[in-house]
Amino acid sequence: MSQEAIPPGTLDMLILQTLFRGGRLHGFEIAEAIQERSEDVLRVEEGSLYPALQRLLLQGWIAGEWGKTEENRRARYYKITRAGHTQLERELSRYRRVSNAIGRILQPV
């Protein structure tokens, strides 16, 4: 089944939401979670994921710390911050607003 790219402007929201739901995850797990919950429709490339995580760190919306996976590999674990949660709410409401607006344009008569 053909996978789709993440629509520009939604990646940060999807990462924040995934961390909000998932608690403490490293990069790979975040990408996997997005792919799985989308039922394989969406796929996050690593070249999009890691720069996005850096942006979110820099904004203070997520916090990260180095650790080890169960398979004993180094990995950076992230969790969403209080400010990140506020930001998530902002992005969610903006997304819904736009989404509904597009829906009104698309809906027949």
Partner DNA sequence: CGACATTACATAGACAATCTATGTCATTAA
Partner DNA sequence: TTAATGACATAGATTGTCTATGTAATGTCG
Which residues contribute to the site for DNA (CB under 7 A)? Answer: 5-12, 26-29, 43-48, 50-54, 69, 71-77
Compute the distance between CA of residue 44 and CA of residue 47 in angstroms, rounded to an integer.
Answer: 8
Give the footprint of a copy of itself on this chain (CB under 8 A): 4, 7-10, 13-14, 17-18, 21, 34, 37-39, 41-42, 92, 94-95, 97-102, 104-106, 109
Cβ atoms of 29 and 83 within 8 Å: the answer is no
Which one of DNA, a copy of itself, none interacts with residue 83, CB within 5 to 8 A by kind?
Answer: none
Which one of DNA, a copy of itself, none interacts with residue 63, CB within 5 to 8 A by kind?
Answer: none
Q: Please, how many CA atoms are within 13 Å of residue 94, restricted to the half-sphere of its CB?
A: 10
Nearer to a copy of itself, 70 or 106 (CB): 106
The torsion angles phi and psi of 45, rounded to 5 degrees, stand at -75, 150
Mapped onto helix, strand or coil, the DSSP state of residue 50 is helix
Nearer to a copy of itself, 3 or 68 (CB): 3
Which one of DNA, a copy of itself, none interacts with residue 38, CB within 5 to 8 A by kind?
Answer: a copy of itself
**Element holding 22 (H helix, E strand):** helix 11-22
